[in-house]
A and B are shown apart, each in its own frame.
Chain A
């Protein structure tokens, strides 16, 4: 069924760009030339402030950006050897919820308010296994609900979304996403809208499922702590560009890009003693007035004229650790860590 080799990446995104057409004259560049891979059983964290293009990147994988306005001017999204940007809608439907699943930020609105949890999970089963008997599908659904550690699956089965809390609903969403045992699970800020205690429970649950099912995960968040807990590798995005990518520990311990450094510096560490935390001056520019060249150049202390011209080539800082910044060049070939 697939033509991937075992050692090749499960998902390979090459040079992906995403544009939004606002009206006849205006085209906004949401994502620029982003490349990354996700290996089998690996968790990739995508880190960035809101509006940096991380959600759009994820939505592109399953083609969930608004169809009417989204343009994919360049790039490939290779999953199990197929380019997801160029397959038919029918093939895409077969992949969605089956080979690749997705869960979203707002659990309270992500479920259809007019159907019970059971009905919506049953739909997910029967979409991909059209012949399955109703009783068997129900069995599967109840199992899935139990597997996300919800007590009384039977009762939840017949409950409507409005009667459940955000944490419960997000568990149900996870159960639904895992029903078909997908190869890849995309999580778009799944815990942002939840209370901190619930957040910890959900993350623990996801780690558990990942161990059990060997699912690859793309985990989008703006929370460094969550990335630290979840991700094997991390990709930092800013202004629609990838600025740095590498193993989580490596990137967090030796950040190379000024933006990554800023992010990490502004995050309180355990030995934080109450000094004022450093911040990155300015705010994320809107898509309408994104600076030319490196999008970070108007907030960066190391910016030169060069930065306003083009985006730099990515340089290898160490093995499997890339960053795109002109400042790295000036530091010399062997002295990557600024």
Chain B
């Protein structure tokens, strides 16, 4: 098992390399350049060229890529626009994204999984039908509309929550977190319901009942553990998705997280910032995948046996 995990972690290195290479090629081989995107349209071409040269957007592609890698390993990559180290900026911005994303995601996971279990255990009851209807409805409402509706109601109409920024302490976080939570719950609860139902239909559930397990024990000890593999898959891929999806929420609420940073960098053709953000998000995604493998092995003895 340990060997397998080390292999997986080592496998991440070429994968991450490919990810930044792809982003690098897209950013460098497409029309447009930093100077044209930042400086006024009337700027002379010679000034633009000088600007591009000063930030490093010149010369052979291979060299530019090597320079980026060099910066990455020495922990000092300069942003095209601010000429400051990107890592300093990330250290301030990433916690904001992580806070909103993690809290929103955890709430969605807890509420979604609980409602899914409830729905499955009470299949076809009124509660189940009502939850399914609500889940189908909210499954069709994207996060950006929930956020907009929230702003309309709580900021414009009621005036109780700020519509942007982080200046109101905890209040500033309520709507961004709620938007992520509400848009995350439907998928999680429906997935939990269907995997619980298929687990509850298995023969070993009948065996557990036949040996005298209480219904509670049947659900928590026997069904849920078996239903947990698809749920864990969804949650871990979902978490990586939530961090990526923070762009939209951060844009709506003007939160200074990495989503907004990335968006501004893309519009300014700030190649090193975009590459570094992509690297960070891809890294988190891959860590989530390794965690998933570990969870799978911990839960399923058949998978564990394969690694021995």
Contacts and interface: CB of A to CB of B under 8 A. Distances in A.
Contacts of A64: 206, 209-210
B299 A112 contact: no
B302 A110 contact: no
B212 A97 contact: yes
Nearest to B221: A123
A238 interface: no
B213 interface: yes
Given A68-B124, A104-B203, A112 B212 contact: no
Interface string B277-308: 00000000000000000000001111001000
Contacts of B203: 104, 106, 109-110
Interface in B203-217: 203-204, 206-215
Contacts, number: 73
Interface in A256-277: none
Given A123-B211, A127-B211, A128-B212, A68 B225 contact: no
Contacts of B211: 96-97, 101, 123-124, 127, 176-177
B222 interface: yes
B226 interface: yes
B123 interface: yes
Nearest to B203: A109
A97 B301 CA distance: 26
A326 B299 CA distance: 59
Nearest to B304: A160
Contacts of A176: 211
Interface residues of B, number: 23
Given A68-B123, A68-B124, A106-B203, A114 B212 contact: no
A123 B218 CA distance: 12
Does more than half of chain B's interface fall in helix, strand or loop, or is it mixed? helix
Interface string A84-112: 00000100011111100110101001111
B198 interface: no
Nearest to A100: B210
Contacts of A128: 212
A330 B215 CA distance: 52
Given A93-B214, A104-B203, A106-B203, A112 B208 contact: yes
B122 to A, nearest CB: 9
B37 interface: no
B264 interface: no
B202 interface: yes
B210 A101 contact: yes
Interface string B203-243: 11011111111110000001001100000000000000000
A109 B124 CA distance: 26
A72 interface: no
Given A89-B215, A102-B210, A176-B211, A109 B202 contact: yes
Given A114-B299, A160-B301, A162-B302, A109 B204 contact: yes
18 contacts: A64-B206, A68-B123, A89-B215, A97-B211, A97-B212, A109-B204, A110-B203, A110-B206, A110-B207, A111-B204, A113-B300, A114-B299, A124-B211, A127-B211, A160-B301, A160-B305, A173-B207, A177-B211
Interface of B: 123-124, 202-204, 206-215, 222, 225-226, 299-302, 305
Given A89-B214, A104-B207, A109-B203, 9 more contacts: A62-B209, A96-B211, A96-B212, A97-B212, A102-B210, A110-B203, A110-B207, A160-B305, A173-B207
